């Protein structure tokens, strides 16, 4: 996954008769997702009542089940569903988290997510900057995998040690593989990583290797995953297999807020915490309202970025973290996002 970069984002608007507009979004395969919405999903929701959201979700799901139950179809359903929730919030004058159970936390604890693998000194400088900004949780990425042999393993370990050196052992450290390892490589890495006390090891193997996750998760380091899994049924399989110790769906892939809310309840029954993938309002509102979502991932704002941080340029309204926490307003209806045109001149816009 060396070429992992998002270069595109899709926004979805659902407009009511009174002119109120709900905004949703999708970041996976935006061109295909747009085609799926235009050709299949939009006709299913036009003319309907947004407050029938659960019915609308079933309608979209069942009409496209043959090809849409996972992947692009579910990403499209997610985008429409998020827009419907934004709409419900705006129409009722409430922030979405107030419709999901309300304020469960004074503020949302976040962990700093960046630290892409690079020169050791650069990673230490970045970690120190994040620490000085008040963060107490950090996620770093590995740069070497199975094809790089023992010397690559040492490069990986050197960087984990270097980051721990800066942040100390009172802070949470998360380790991200983005499916770039395999079962054999991960089995060999786990004992070498133990002394760094990671809070979790993320997506060590491909998303479909549920048995691999299950085996790894029985070891001493918690395994996390789920950002490439879909719907309540997908997470039932992960939970039944005890495959992950932390669930990381992204609401704009997993089936929207309607599906995420059900997964939160199921995960609570298994006592597996849900810490959604990426930042963004659709995830923050669910996290604020759930007793089983202890914190959020947080991508720091940088001047120039082409990864997950792209949403900062597409939308206004995402909160910035202060001293390791972020806040949602009790007074802003809906998700609290608007589409921004401040950075449009940097982008190619496709109709
Ligand atoms: Mg991840």
pLDDT over threshold 70, residue 305: no
State the distance from the centre of ligand 1 to the C-alpha of 170, rounded, in angstroms: 22
State the distance from the centre of ligand 1 to the C-alpha of 351, rounded, in angstroms: 30
Query: Cα(246)–Cα(280) distance, rounded to whole angstroms?
Result: 19
Q: What is the pLDDT of residue 303?
A: 63
Which pLDDT band, with edges at 50, 70 and 90, does 5 fall under?
low
Average confidence (pLDDT) over 296-313: 76
E-state strands within the chain:
10-15, 21-26, 108-113, 137-141, 172-176, 200-202, 223-225, 246-247, 296-298, 315-316, 325-326, 338-339
Residue 149, by phi and psi: left (phi above 0), alpha (psi -120 to 50) or beta? left
State the distance from the centre of ligand 1 to the C-alpha of 18, rounded, in angstroms: 39
State the distance from the centre of ligand 1 to the C-alpha of 276, rounded, in angstroms: 9
Query: Cα(193)–Cα(190) distance, rounded to whole angstroms?
Result: 5
Give the tens place of pLDDT for each residue, 83-102.
999 999 999 999 999 999 99
Cα dist from 73 to 9, 79, 182, whole Å? 16, 10, 27
Angle at 86 between CA 84 and CA 87, to 5 degrees: 60
State the distance from the centre of ligand 1 to the C-alpha of 116, rounded, in angstroms: 12
State the catalytic residues.
277
The residues with which 334 forms a beta bridge, in sequence order, are 95
Parallel, antiparallel or unpaired: strands 108-113 and 325-326: antiparallel
Domains, the chain, ordered by start: 10-93+340-346 (3.30.390.10), 98-334 (3.20.20.120)
Query: Cα(222)–Cα(246) distance, rounded to whole angstroms?
Result: 8
Give the tens place of pLDDT for each residue, 255-285.
999 999 999 999 999 999 999 999 999 999 9
pLDDT over threshold 50, residue 2: no
State the distance from the centre of ligand 1 to the C-alpha of 28, rounded, in angstroms: 14
Query: Torsions phi, psi of 200, nearest 5?
Result: -160, 160
Lowest-pLDDT range of 5-14, 119-128, 246-255, 275-284? 5-14
Lowest-pLDDT range of 70-74, 297-301, 326-330? 297-301
Average confidence (pLDDT) over 324-339: 97
Report the SS3 class of residue 265: helix
Lowest-pLDDT range of 167-181, 199-213, 330-344? 330-344
From the list 114, 120, 78, 10, the residue with the least C-alpha distance to 283 is 78
Q: CB under 8 Å to 277, separation ≥6 — which residues? A: 226, 227, 248, 249, 250, 253, 283, 297
State the distance from the centre of ligand 1 to the C-alpha of 84, rounded, in angstroms: 26
Ion ligand 1 residues within 5 Å by Cβ:
202
19: number of Cβ within 10 Å: 6
pLDDT over threshold 60, residue 6: no
Query: Cα(303)–Cα(164) distance, rounded to whole angstroms?
Result: 26
Residues 86 and 335: beta-carbon distance below 8 Å: yes
Q: How many residues does the structure list for the chain?
A: 351
State the distance from the centre of ligand 1 to the C-alpha of 90, rounded, in angstroms: 31
Percentage of residues of the chain with pLDDT beyond 70? 95
pLDDT over threshold 80, residue 309: no
Kindly provide the b/e burial profile for residues 98-129, where b requires at least 16 CB atoms within 10 angstroms of the residue's own CB.
Answer: bbbeeeebebbbbbbbbbebeeeeebbebbee
State the distance from the centre of ligand 1 to the C-alpha of 48, rounded, in angstroms: 35
Which pLDDT band, with edges at 50, 70 and 90, does 1 fall under?
very low
Report the SS3 class of residue 282: helix
Which pLDDT band, with edges at 50, 70 and 90, does 117 fall under?
very high
Parallel, antiparallel or unpaired: strands 137-141 and 172-176: parallel
Query: Cα(273)–Cα(245) distance, rounded to whole angstroms?
Result: 7
Lowest-pLDDT range of 3-17, 47-61, 174-188, 308-322? 3-17
State the distance from the centre of ligand 1 to the C-alpha of 176, rounded, in angstroms: 6
Query: Cα(267)–Cα(232) distance, rounded to whole angstroms?
Result: 10
pLDDT over threshold 50, residue 182: yes
State the distance from the centre of ligand 1 to the C-alpha of 277, rounded, in angstroms: 6
Q: What is the pLDDT of residue 27?
A: 85
């Amino acid at each position: 996954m060396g070429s992992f970069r998002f270069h595109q984002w899709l926004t979805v608007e659902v407009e009511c008769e009174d002119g109120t507009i709900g905004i949703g979004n999708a970041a996976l395969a935006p061109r295909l997702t747009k085609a799926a919405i235009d050709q299949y999903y939009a006709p299913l929701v036009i003319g309907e009542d947004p407050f029938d959201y659960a019915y609308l979700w079933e309608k979209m799901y069942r009409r496209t089940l043959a090809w849409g139950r996972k992947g692009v179809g579910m990403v499209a359903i997610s985008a429409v569903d998020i827009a419907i929730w934004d709409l419900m919030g705006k129409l009722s004058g409430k922030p979405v988290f107030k419709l999901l159970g309300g304020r469960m936390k004074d503020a949302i604890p976040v962990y700093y997510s960046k630290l892409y693998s690079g020169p050791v000194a650069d990673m230490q400088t970045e970690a120190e900057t994040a620490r000085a900004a008040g963060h107490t949780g950090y996620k770093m990425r590995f740069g070497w995998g199975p094809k790089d042999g023992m010397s690559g393993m040492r490069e990986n370990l050197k960087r984990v040690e270097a980051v721990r050196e800066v942040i100390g052992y009172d802070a949470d450290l998360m380790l991200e593989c983005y499916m770039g390892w395999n079962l054999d490589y991960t089995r060999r890495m786990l004992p070498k990583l133990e002394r760094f006390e990671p809070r979790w090891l993320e997506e060590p193997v491909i998303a479909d290797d549920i048995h691999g996750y299950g085996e790894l998760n029985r070891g001493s380091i918690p395994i996390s995953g789920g950002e490439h899994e879909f719907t309540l049924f997908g997470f039932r399989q992960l939970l039944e297999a005890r495959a992950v110790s932390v669930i990381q769906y992204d609401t704009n892939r997993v089936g929207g807020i309607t599906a995420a809310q059900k997964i939160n309840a199921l995960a609570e029954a298994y006592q597996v915490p849900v810490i959604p993938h990426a930042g963004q309002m659709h995830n923050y509102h669910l996290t604020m309202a759930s007793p089983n979502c202890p914190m959020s991932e947080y991508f720091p704002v940088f001047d120039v970025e082409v990864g997950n941080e792209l949403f900062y340029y597409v939308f206004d309204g995402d909160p910035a973290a202060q001293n390791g926490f972020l806040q949602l307003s009790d007074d802003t209806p809906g998700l609290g996002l608007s589409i921004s045109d401040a950075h449009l001149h940097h982008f190619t816009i496709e109709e």
